[in-house]
Structure 1
Amino acid sequence: MRVYDQVVSGPQAQETALDRLGLNLGREADARIARAVPVEAPIAIEIGGIGYAVMMATPSDLVDYAIGFALSEGLASNLDDIADIQPHAVEGGWIIRMMLPLEGTKKAMARARVRVTESSCGLCGIDNIEQVLRPLPPVTARISVERSAISRALASLPDHQPLSQSTGAVHAAAFCTPTGEIVLTREDVGRHNALDKLIGALAQKSIDPATGFFLLTARCSYELVEKTVRANCPMLVTISAPTTLAVERAARAGLTLVTLARADAALVVSGLENIAG
């Protein structure tokens, strides 16, 4: 297994905005406040020396992000497919340079494009509707999760969100055991980026996504379903509602999808038979 030097969360993940006016909309007086805000920066991804994509993301855990991005995009099938990763700070942002095997490089070159997008949304370099709706591989992993495990994971999630606690403006993606224990969490201003970082971190730690479930603080878009399915994680839990395409894609791929998850309730969209208790 390859091991890469990690760019970890730190000062580059947040800034403190000093001397800002706290505008009161009631009857109390306005006040000057200091508040931390998350960094959002362009992250350029180069594969084999060619620009593949530019994403807007939080510049932390960039090696995890690069690995998860390559796996989610289907450019690499496992960690050993990625020959090298080099994140570099540049004026105004970051560049991540990756080296992939010939097949992955060819696929990247066929999709290459350089326009800026808001986040890693699963559409990188895809230029027609047929490709967007291409069939997903079926989820082969299966786990049984008690409803109490979902509640347990939700209750402990805030303790695993340091950047969110300081800024209140980022998403988190967590990997949980079937009993609801949170094993690993990654944060980012983009929900797709957070999940890519989590997938990459799991690969680096040799943790199989098939052995647990993903928990995300986000709306359940179809891209999150696709990334979960491609990771062969059997269950996705989100705190907000799903889109129609997310519902359809999850059902077709055999993904257990739980949305609108709260401490006392949740909406099971597909895979109800895998929820126990």
Structure 2
Amino acid sequence: MAPRPHSSQSGLSVQSDRTVAVHRSLPEEVAVAMVFDGSSAAVMMATPADLQDFATGFALSEGIVTAPDQLDGFELAEHPNGLEARFWLREDRAEALAARRRFMAGPVGCGLCGIDSLDAAARALPLVGDGPRFTRAEVACATDRLRDQQPLHDQTHATHAAGFLLPGQGITFVREDVGRHNALDKLIGAMARQGTDASAGAVVMTSRLSVELVQKCAIAGVTTLIAVSAPTAHALRLAEGAGMTLAAFARGGGFDLYAHPHRIIDGVPDVA
């Protein structure tokens, strides 16, 4: 059984006029080894919740598998120093694992820490499909709607979230983690396990838009990526090349639109 995703901790609140004792709920962060066929592919620092979604999304977004039915026999094993998220691979996918080997023990802020070559970091991205359209209003309020569905953040004020926005329906999936790319892997895994087509909606993030987020979304088939903060210049270049729409600074009733703006429209949302 995984540890609780948060715990109560004592501290002191030091203000200009007083110092008082406080008790705060803080997010837990543990080492999670992604183990496939008995071999560790990566070690990620993550929030210990939705770990089957996390491992599934990681395997999909890293190209270890191309569909969730290529993974079998999930189990979670506790160790003194962390957790193992274990899967067995279909035989033909073992070669993909060997080709995509990563050893990661990096901070949660960097999804590319530990990649074993510059070529792996610069992997070619697939061209995403046409995808749905969204109204300006849907995009402008997307991060607010995501914020309404973040119970772990409500308790800790210290986690990121990734949500899935369907046109005309709002946010339908949300996953949280201390790491933004971990939250996205959890979201991708959750949708894949439930048979939800990632190309049918947009991903909404509580973070900046960095290279690994664009890479993961493109591999999942996501056509629109919305975030509360800025994209990096290289993330924007990757999105341009992949045919993906980027909407950044989505807060306060507005947003900046970068790359392939044709998916953001006025009027009634496209629910087809």
Secondary structure class of the residue paired with 1:12: coil
The normalised TM-score by structure 2 is 0.92
* Number of residue equivalences: 266
| Residue 15 of structure 1: aligned partner | 7
Query: Quick check: 2:228–2:248 contact (8 Å CA) kept in 1?
Result: yes
| Residue 269 of structure 2: aligned partner | none
Query: Quick check: 1:120–1:193 contact (8 Å CA) kept in 2?
Result: no
**Pairing 1:257–2:257 present:** no
**Pairing 1:61–2:61 present:** no
Moved more, 116-125 or 179-188: 116-125
Query: Quick check: 1:75–1:107 contact (8 Å CA) kept in 2?
Result: yes
Return the match for 1:107 from 82, 87, 96.
96
**Pairing 1:31–2:49 present:** no
For residues 168 and 69 of structure 1, the distance between their equivalents in structure 2, rounded to whole angstroms, comes to 25
Query: Quick check: 1:153–1:180 contact (8 Å CA) kept in 2?
Result: no
Amino acid paired to 2:158: A
| Residue 257 of structure 2: aligned partner | 268
Amino acid paired to 1:23: V
**Could you report, residue by residue, the CA deviation over 1:28-67 in whole angstroms, capped at 9, with x for unpaired residues?**
2111011000001100111111111110000100000011
Moved more, 59-68 or 44-53: 44-53
For residues 243 and 120 of structure 1, the distance between their equivalents in structure 2, rounded to whole angstroms, comes to 14
Cα deviation for residue 115 of structure 1 reads 4.5
**Pairing 1:247–2:222 present:** no
For residues 213 and 99 of structure 2, the distance between their equivalents in structure 1, rounded to whole angstroms, comes to 23
Change (3 A) 1:201 1:237: same
Aligned ranges 1:68-107 → 2 under 5 Å: 68-107=57-96
Moved more, 121-130 or 256-265: 121-130
Secondary structure class of the residue paired with 1:83: strand
Cα deviation for residue 114 of structure 1 reads 4.1
Cα deviation for residue 83 of structure 1 reads 1.8
Q: Unpaired runs of 5+ in structure 1?
A: 1-6
**Could you report, residue by residue, the CA deviation over 1:118-148 in whole angstroms, capped at 9, with x for unpaired residues?**
2395547642223322221100142111011
Moved more, 164-173 or 105-114: 105-114
Amino acid paired to 1:14: H
Query: Quick check: 1:54–1:116 contact (8 Å CA) kept in 2?
Result: yes
Moved more, 108-117 or 56-65: 108-117
| Residue 147 of structure 2: aligned partner | 158
For residues 24 and 105 of structure 2, the distance between their equivalents in structure 1, rounded to whole angstroms, comes to 28
For residues 98 and 250 of structure 1, the distance between their equivalents in structure 2, rounded to whole angstroms, comes to 31
Give the root-mean-square deviation of aligned CA atoms.
1.8
Q: Unpaired runs of 5+ in structure 2?
A: 267-272
| Residue 4 of structure 1: aligned partner | none
Amino acid paired to 2:131: R
For residues 104 and 223 of structure 2, the distance between their equivalents in structure 1, rounded to whole angstroms, comes to 33
Query: Quick check: 1:152–1:180 contact (8 Å CA) kept in 2?
Result: no
Query: Quick check: 1:202–1:208 contact (8 Å CA) kept in 2?
Result: yes
For residues 86 and 99 of structure 1, the distance between their equivalents in structure 2, rounded to whole angstroms, comes to 10
Percent identity (aligned): 37
| Residue 189 of structure 1: aligned partner | 178
Change (3 A) 1:120 1:86: farther
Change (3 A) 1:180 1:237: farther
Return the match for 2:32 from 39, 43, 47.
43
